[in-house]
Amino acid sequence: MANPCDDFESNECQAALQELSQYLDGVLTVERRTVIKTHIDLCSHCLDTYSFEIELRQVISRRCCDEVPESLRRRIADAIRDDLQGQ
């Protein structure tokens, strides 16, 4: 895949990577998403970073699905309530 950027530190790369989380979260405008998608499609450096971020999010999603014990939930709620009442 051809890389339109002279190097990984180009302004285009930095802009795309700076907004990568928002891009993955789907919170950018359609226009901004299009610009970043086009850049990622053409830039091997940014594509690698994008792929890593996708994989990392998938691993976190799979690994972080433990249920919090009800006793812990109650202790946290009690601590918050006690803290609020003490103010």
The pLDDT of residue 4 is above 70: no
The pLDDT of residue 87 is above 70: no
Average pLDDT of the residues in 62-74: 83
Match 């901004």 to its residue by tokens: 32
What is the C-alpha separation between 50 and 69, in angstroms, rounded? 35
Average pLDDT of the residues in 68-83: 89
Q: How confident is the model at residue 1 (pLDDT cuts 50, 70, 90)?
A: very low
pTM of the model: 0.63
Ranges 2-16, 23-37, 55-69: which has the least confidence: 2-16
End-to-end CA gap in the chain: 60
Domain boundaries, the chain: 11-85
- Written as six digits, the tokens of 1 are 């895949």
Average pLDDT of the residues in 23-48: 95
Q: How confident is the model at residue 27 (pLDDT cuts 50, 70, 90)?
A: very high
